[in-house]
Amino acid sequence: MPPFVLGESWTTAILLVTIGYSAGSISFDHWKQMVQDILLPLYACGVLGYIILRIYHVAVEPRLRPSYDIKQPPAAAAAAAAASSILDESKARLAPMPVDLTGTFKLVENNNFEELLAAQGVPWALRSAANRARPTHKITHQGNLLTIKIEGIIETQTTYQIGGPPTENPVRGRLFRDHVTYLEDKTGIQTLKHAVNDGYTVRVCRRLAPDRSGLTMTSTVKFDDESKENVECKQIFQRIEG
């Protein structure tokens, strides 16, 4: 019951009682009859009015009020997100390519590779085996999308967006945050691999040969501690397919 209904009912009752007793003309039976004839109908009207107002505010008014916060159902939101992702990927695939690195390349020559691994804390047995291995790098390059699949002792596959946000890439228990861009002379790409929580960054440059017969990959470890010297490695890959 709204406060104003109760307040008005009690005010009316007190007023009538005061008038009745002060005039001395209203008996108790008359007063009882007055309550039944006047106050109870007023009370019932107040309750009915309150119920009608509550129904209006809860059920009717929201339907009349314009909605400015329309939320998509979960399925519609997921579909919209998927469509947006497909559109972004399509745009990335159609981006201009200053160089096309697509092809399959096999490692044919290592220079200082084992020392590069040692600088990153790779155990002797693993870096010795990696230095003797001749892995294959299969590169798929479309627009700004670049996928590098490595087949060898350790097999990995990572997709990057050139010039896009960093890609997190776990390698041998370490987490790298990779950022890929084109080289300034547009002959290849460079990958900055920041070793999260390990205090160094590896700069990897893949440069395509002018005749497209192969590529040269130069990797440099640069430590956050400037007292440590950088370590550089050069690897030569020969195109075998694509």
Regions of the chain where pLDDT drops below 70: 1-32, 34-36, 39, 57-58, 60-73, 75-90
Task: For residue 116, tell me if it sits in a domain.
Answer: yes
| Angle 21-25-28 from CA coordinates, rounded to 5° | 65
Shared-domain flag, residues 139 and 223: yes
In a domain, 69, yes or no: no
Within a domain: 84: no
Same domain, 223 and 159: yes
pLDDT in tens, 166-177: 999 888 778 999
What is the extent of the structural domain holding 55? 3-64
Query: What is the number of structural domains in the chain?
Result: 2
pLDDT given at position 173: 79
The verdict on residue 220 lying in a domain is yes
Structure confidence at residue 93 (pLDDT): 73
- Are 111 and 215 within one domain? yes
CA distance 169 to 159: 10
Give the model's pLDDT for residue 41: 74
DSSP 2-69: -HHHHHHHHHHHHHHHHHHHHHT---HHHHHHHIIIIIHHHHHHHHHHHHHHHHIIIIIHHHHSPPS-
Contacts of 7 (CB under 8 A, 6+ apart): none
Query: Within a domain: residue 87?
Result: no
Considering the entire predicted model, what is its pTM? Answer: 0.63
In a domain, residue 162? The reply is yes
Is residue 117 in some structural domain? yes
Which CATH number is 156's domain given?
A: 2.40.128.20
DSSP 166-220: -EEEEETTEEEEEEEEE-TTSSEEEEEEEETTTTEEEEEEEEE-TTSSEEEEEEE
Place of tokens 């050069």: 234
57 and 123 in a common domain: no
What is the structure's pLDDT at 130?
92
